[in-house]
Amino acid sequence: MNAPDTAALAASALPRIDAHRLWDSLMALAALGATPKGGVCRLALSDLDREARDLFVRWAREAGCTVRIDAIGNVFARRAGTEPGLPAVATGSHIDTQPTGGKFDGNYGVLAGLEVLRTLADHGVRTRAPLELCVWTNEEGSRFVPVMMGSGVYAGAFSLQHALDAADRDGVRVRDALAAIGYAGPEPAALADGAPRFGAFFEAHIEQGPVLEDAGDVIGVVTGALGQRWYDVVVTGLEAHAGPTPMDLRRDALQAALPLMQAVDRIARAEAPHARGTVGWAQVFPNSRNTIPGRVSFTVDFRHTDEAGLARMDGALREAIAQAQSDGRVAVSLTPVVHFPPAPFDPALVARVRAAAQRHGLPHRDIVSGAGHDAVYVARTAPAAMIFVPCKDGISHNEIEDARPEHLAAGCQVLLEAMLETAGRAA
């Protein structure tokens, strides 16, 4: 068989994933670092992360995979194909969590991939291309920055040395934490250093937003990820006594900052529905009841489906800042801190996700990822796509994060079919 063909993939002829086994595995992994409120606290490269990795490696070997570990601690479980020369069709996500994280963020993508490999093994299905299941190191970025560390090193977004030198708040460096848990592997971590390039990469993930649940959809066909531009803004005026200083002689940094913060919201709304604009952190100095604020620092998080839109938002913000400074009472500094270009996913892979949802009559919609994911970095190196499933009330990065077993199973089945079609079923 040459080009795998969709017609051959009649739903009835396809192996079915085991929804109970998927759920049980999710719950078993969630027990490592379980919090009293039903969430998970399993920070990257902690002892709990080691336990979770060890469990994953055991499961992967039991499913017939070989396991390799690279220099940033990414774990790859490989299921051989009948044509070893073909690049692997890969899937995966992360198993580190936020300090008050949930059971599904990341873990679902890893265990959905595992369930795919287990199902293919159960049914004796062989693929032409090898399959790989990835556990990417430190996706969350809550203990070590940069976020999406393992996939970022792989894709060359930053260097291995930069990642290994990153330290947590206690001064523990990534290189030492990796060694301490036994996951400083021998394999090259970066594509540029010889890590293998995938033929395709799929990531299943809970949506982490409210769109699917609101629409009653089960599968989000993710067509790409929003680009992001983040900034630090500092407005400097002059602190003075709230009583003796008349209104027209003030250099009040907070009153100058407020219209800027509102501009962030307005700028994003002007690009609706393609944009987001958020001021998520602000600090007033000296933050005293009877002192006119002399300095206000705040963050700006802009997201947009396309680069030109991000550029328009950047321009509009700079215009608002120029306006705020025009009377000379305050000075405003704008420091760009992050720029992720928008990441469109591969149309052919996206179409396979959509076709699998249609094959099973699953309500689905095209959706753009507003959050960063490992797949966004991997997409810089190989064709990639994502599958979203709903999470309760759209809540994630929270201990009450929840998802329905039947939705998780549906997403896993879609993943299996998209991977099987891409890897090609061996005769």
Q: Which residues make up the interface to Zn ion (CB under 5 A)?
A: 105-106
Element (H, E) at 299: strand 295-304
In this complex, which beta carbon is closest to Zn ion, that of residue 105 or of residue 271?
105
Distance CA 340, CA 355 (A): 29
Task: Report in angstroms how near the CB of residue 139 gets to Zn ion at its nearest.
Answer: 6
Kindly tell me which of 208 and 223 has the beta carbon lying closer to Zn ion.
208
Considering beta carbons, is residue 105 or 115 the nearer one to Zn ion?
105
Beta carbon of residue 398, minimum distance to Zn ion (angstroms, whole number): 13
Nearer to Zn ion, 139 or 417 (CB): 139
Distance CA 173, CA 29 (A): 26
Decide: helix, strand or coil at residue 330.
coil
Provide the minimum distance between the beta carbon of 57 and Zn ion in the complex, in angstroms, as a whole number.
20
Q: Assess contact for 390 and 217: CB atoms under 8 A.
A: yes
Q: Which two tokens stand for residue 380?
A: 């810089």
CB of 397 to Zn ion, least distance (A): 9
Q: How far is the CB of 206 from Zn ion (least distance, A)?
A: 8
Rank residues 80 and 147 by Cβ distance to Zn ion and give the closer one: 147
CA 89 to each of CA 8, 15, 53, 109, 126: distance values in angstroms, whole numbers, following the listed order: 19, 18, 21, 15, 13
Q: What is the DSSP letter of 140?
A: S
In the bound state with Zn ion, the residue whose beta carbon lies nearer, of 76 and 108, is 108
Token pair of 97 as six digits: 């969590």
Q: Nearest distance from residue 42's CB to Zn ion, in Å? A: 13
Shortest spacing between CB 94 and Zn ion, in angstroms: 6
Whether the ω angle into residue 87 lies within 30 degrees of 0, i.e. cis, is: no
Q: Measured from the CB atom, is 220 or 237 closer to Zn ion?
A: 220
Decide whether 15 or 101 has the Cβ nearer to Zn ion: 101
Q: Which residues contact 316 (CB under 8 A, 6 or more apart)?
A: 263, 267, 270
CA atoms within 13 A on the CB side of 384: 26
Q: What's the rounded Cα separation, in Å, for the pair 61 and 17?
A: 18
In whole angstroms, the minimum distance from the beta carbon of 203 to Zn ion comes to 9
**To the nearest whole angstrom, how small is the minimum distance from the Cβ of residue 135 to Zn ion?**
12
Checking DSSP bridges between strand 75-79 and strand 66-69, what pairing results, if any?
Answer: antiparallel
In the 8-state DSSP scheme, what is residue 88? P
Q: How far is CA 194 from CA 191, 219, 324, 340, 384, in A?
A: 5, 35, 50, 24, 20
**What span, in angstroms and rounded, lies between the C-alpha atoms of 205 and 340?**
20
Q: Work out how close the CB of 81 gets to Zn ion at its nearest, in angstroms, rounded to a whole number.
A: 28
Q: Please identify, using beta-carbon distances, which residue of 67 and 371 lies nearer to Zn ion.
A: 371
**Sequence-ordered strand ranges (E) for 360-404:** 364-369, 384-389
CB 104 within 8 A of CB 391: yes
Which residue number places its CB atom closest to Zn ion? 106
For Zn ion, give the closer residue by CB, 110 or 419.
110
The answer to whether the Cα torsion of 100, 105, 110, 112 is positive or negative is positive
